[in-house]
Structure 1
Amino acid sequence: MGDIRMVMLGRLSDRSRQEWSRRVPDLDVIELAHAAPSGLRLGRRALGIGADSMAVALKARLARPAHATVAMSPWPGVACRMFGIKNLAIVGLYAQPHSKPWDFLVRKLGDTPLVVTSEREASDWVAAGGRARPVVWGGTFGSALSKPKSGSVPRVFVGGTSDRDGRALGRFVESVMGDRVAVELVIANGSGPRQWVGRRSRVEWLPYIPQSQFIAALSRSHAVYLPVRETGRSAGQMVLVASMEAGLPTLIHPNESLQPYHGEGIECVDAVGHPLDRLIRMADTTEDVRRSIRKRWERDFSLRAFSSNVLDALGQMDWPGSIR
């Protein structure tokens, strides 16, 4: 595929670097190891993701020349264009259609090839005059295979913050705190540390934790609840894919960007439904079924599948083109 440079916020894991290099042998990674984990510094995105994007794009501009550059987020992509980096492509959008950030990206990115992770994102972007192809998001986190409840108190995991339905989560927490049945609820949304303990049930809110700890907490659970609102942008995919890697049965809300993952082990509940009893039943999912969910993840939603799909989608947009 030629001499390709990848620009990203954060650090590319050794596992991810190896997987991407399977398809791009000459891959050169420009990364910002200490990017703001929440995209904020002093409560401002301009000092967080904005400054970090400029910093990593400057590193890319000063690095040895490359035939083509792919930015793994739109904001470093905008910064790369500002620094005059040519033959650029971008993976990911992460902006609600027709919002102020989305309009800004449309103006700054123009016809830059863009790979997005939902059909709706692609169609809205193309309608605005851009070039885009949709792929199903995938990733590999090293999640351990989860275990069935097997007589222990069922442990339900809720994680992440992007487009989460706060009202639905609040109702779910209230149902657990009703103390009607024994259940342990772990909420990894950065709002802790704090906890509530009843006679039968327990709720723990975790503080912001590194990804490795997030994945470990998820893998120790018996079932996952993912209450994601429909906003027109991709959301919830990272938690869902990590759950599938762990073989975890997962209950989700109707959401277009999560539609491709529906299948064995992935069930849907209406946003106004009452999911507690259903999740307790799902916690008893057998180990054989969990292994089957994990095999489906490996085939369709792992980083290997995702990297292949991304590069194929970029090729459909004639990127990176011929070697000069």
Structure 2
Amino acid sequence: MSGVAGNLTGASVSGAASMGPDAGPHEDSRLAVGVCTRDRPDALVRCIRSLGAIAGLVGDVIVVDDGSRVPVEPGLREALGPDAPPGLRVLRSEASRGLAAGRNAIVHATASAYVLNLDDDASVVDPAAIHAALAVFDTDPRVGAVALAQGDEQGRAWPAQAQPAPVSVPSRVASFVGYGHVLRRRAMLQVGGYREELVMTGEEKELCLRLLDAGWRVVYLPDAVVAHRADPGGRDMRRYLHLTVRNDVLIALYTLPLPLALGGAMVRLRRYFQMRRGWNVDDPEGFAGVLRRLAPAARVALGARTPVKWSTVREWRRLTQEPAPYPGPDE
């Protein structure tokens, strides 16, 4: 698909090197774990250590070092010592390319059927959460992604408004959230992976919209909790504001039927002012800075549109407003 990660046909991050002891993909497990990181070494060590809870499930552990100022692998291996997962590999990109490119690289680098993606400040607290996700895939071949709940380090879930959907039972939902989710690799390959032009912020919902259009389901398990201790390192609210507005517009232009794309782009641009006030962001560049960065990307998006079906838009809206309880594969 034009504009989407080259259909995941490469080997890893462009310009990156595989620095671990094994350069090739493993086939000894159906589950790989992927973690993208940049300049948060302590959080990364905590995340990788937590994988000991699911050691029996995991073959590959793939860390994408997305342009950290100090390469992460030497310090990570020293900190982990003998506790390093046997399948640990680090792919380093000298320049940051963003979460979307990093997570596509993880899919390139493994042959496992499923990929558990964790933010570097997330961690596994209960192996039952991961077993539950794999059970959904095993029983329903139409599931392309499983969304996990986020909680504290004791496995207590955060309030419903902080989750992928405000539900208390397993449900079909519009999208997962990036801190913790499991993907069916075959579904990713089919739809072309994350759209790398988005870099980060909103890339999950854009992927889920295309998954839905291709007939795949996203299921959220509210009792399957991973810990997410948000690390402030590397967070820039001004950049986040600009990326959120830019990407919301680009998602509309890339994926929505034309009448919705044009109208939706204008609506999303106006949200800049509301978000800037609500988030109390000091933004000297202002709205003009958003437009300046958006213009060239918007031209690319208009030339590479892959709009979803109208029926997909209706289903997406329905699931956004009212997630559907998910009893199992026959639902």
TM-score by length of 2: 0.30
More helix by share: 2
Q: Which one has the largest radius of gyration?
A: 1
Q: TM-score, normalization: structure 1?
A: 0.30
